[in-house]
Structure 1
């Protein structure tokens, strides 16, 4: 077996002039992985390179794959993902993955920027302030997830209502309202992070529905699952497919 021409060309697009040490130490493994990831998998997904890199970065943050994230971040920049978009992917991960996990990735992002001569401080993208973040967040979440937060505010025990408030003002008011990425992309990123985390099935189902609400199709999400499979493995992939079919059944 050898790395086939298509896989090599797709790999070189992301990593020009890169010589993998695995070709010397683990040639059989790298041939299997590259032929699968950079050729076979791509035949079953219509996702473009730009979005593929964005959802891969989101997935790697969720799984705590710091070294692979740094490599794929450089690849993302090579094919046109902007520094602002990369920063927004990292920020978007905070409400879903938690700062405890994201902290190292923010530092790594800044390190990669500096190593490439890019300014680690990108232009601000916030559109809300302390006075309107709750109102704008509630409006945003209603457009994405319907009345789910309103129901939490109404029905949750008094000592738990603040979690619904946090969803409105922090998760959606502070993050989803930001510029730099559109809402369709943010929902795809959230879906990617949740299926990569594992153990968040109710949230995955909620964001499958949210994706459809903002105009992303089931096929869009299947394409994401397909390109993430080599990174997240089969158990989480098959769980994601089962949840997709549960929320959006196939029509025969």
Structure 2
């Protein structure tokens, strides 16, 4: 039984030159997966293909799926996600997943871009300096997270306040202030990565609130979760949904 027409069209748009060997060894599974991932979930979401691929790339890094990342990366580059945007996804993942995992994805990205004739390094996107990263980062953090940043500093024990400085200067100053992705997209990306990572429920809740603060909506967050289901599974997705329901409950 072939995949339905809508799933086949979307699959061919994303992967025009890629045919998985699983189509030969596991055809029944592939049809079921394609119908779900490339039709059923998409009918339940209004997220653009561009933003869908951006958040899926981030979540796949968080999961640690190198093969799937390589395949999705090709689809992203074939569908208007720029090399700069791809690099920004990978760079931002370091703040949430850590370089130990992300370095492999950075090498994959460089291999794929080089094979496509993209000259590296890409133009720099940093807007801060070593002298300004803390001040500018804390201002950006406050713009995204809100006034609770001051409380985070005030409540931090003296021997642990350096973690707050790290967040301001590194997570926000070194990453969120970069060009290449706008802040609303970065927040959706962070939400997707934290959901994909699993075990970060408090941080997921915090970034649900941050998404709302920068102008994203409950519907935007539900769209992200909807397109992540096939790639990160139900437990992580449903934990993300619980966080959205708690912080941004549906209208009465």
TM range (shorter): over 0.9
CA distance in 2, matches of 1:202, 1:18: 38
Q: Unaligned 5+ residue runs, structure 1?
A: none
Work out the number of aligned pairs and report it. Answer: 252
Give per-residue Cα distances to partners, 1:47-76, cap 9 Å, x unaligned: 111001000100000010001001000000
Q: Are the equivalent residues in 2 in contact too, given 1:11–1:38 (CA < 8 A)?
A: yes
Distance (Å, rounded) in 1 between the aligned partners of 2:23 and 2:42: 22
How far residue 171 of structure 1 moved from its aligned partner, in angstroms, is 0.6
RMSD: 0.9
Offset of residue 148 of structure 1? 2.7
Structure-2 residue corresponding to 1:34: 34
Q: Tell me which residue corresponds to 1:21.
A: 21
The alpha carbon displacement at 1:118 in A equals 1.4
2:5 — aligned with what?
A: 5
Whole-Å separation in 1 of the counterparts to 2:15 and 2:2 = 18
TM-score, structure 2 normalization: 0.98
- 1:183 Cα shift? 0.2
What do the CA deviations read for 1:94-153 (whole angstroms, capped 9, x no partner)?
Answer: 111111111101011001111212123110000000111111001101100012332222
Distance 1:165 1:150 in 2: 12
Work out the CA distance in 2 between the residues paired with 1:110 and 1:58.
Answer: 16
Distance in 2 between residues matched to 1:73 and 1:230, nearest whole Å: 16
CA separation in 2, counterparts of 1:17 and 1:236?
Answer: 31
Q: Hey, what does 1:86 align to over in structure 2?
A: 86
Kindly report structure 1 stretches of 4+ aligned residues shifted beyond 6 Å. none
- Partner residue, 2:167: 167
Partner residue, 2:45: 45
Query: Which TM-score applies when normalising by structure 1?
Result: 0.98
The residue aligned with 1:76 is 76
Residue 64 (structure 1) aligns with: 64
Q: Distance in 1 between matches of 2:102 and 2:17?
A: 30
Q: CA deviation at 1:16?
A: 1.0
